[in-house]
Amino acid sequence: MDRNTERTEELLDELYDTLTRLCHFYEGMKRQMVKRDDYTLETAERDFSALVCNEGMSVLPILADLIDLLDAKQAQYQS
């Protein structure tokens, strides 16, 4: 397995894991929102911080790396 293929597999695994974490996190948010009184300003601030400040809660950097890698791989095959 070449390095690009190995890195692609790593990124796909990381993307899957991050999506799993995000789905769990969002489900927790939804559960708290069922009872409107349970979702407070403090809860919203905590959720905001978790999503913005925690790299493990964002798929964007993973997708960007994956796009770069796949683009380079495609360029390699076209040359």
Q: In this predicted model, what pLDDT tens digit does every residue of 53-78 receive, in sequence order? A: 887 789 999 999 999 999 988 888 78
Q: What does residue 58 show for φ and ψ, rounded to 5 degrees?
A: -130, 130
pLDDT-based confidence at 20, cuts 50/70/90? very high
- What's the rounded Cα separation, in Å, for the pair 19 and 14? 9
Q: Are 62 and 14 in contact (CB under 8 A)?
A: yes
Q: Amino acid identity, residue 66?
A: L
User: Looking at the 3D structure of the chain, how many domains does it have?
Assistant: 1
Q: Which domain holds residue 58?
A: 3-78
pTM above 0.85, yes or no: no
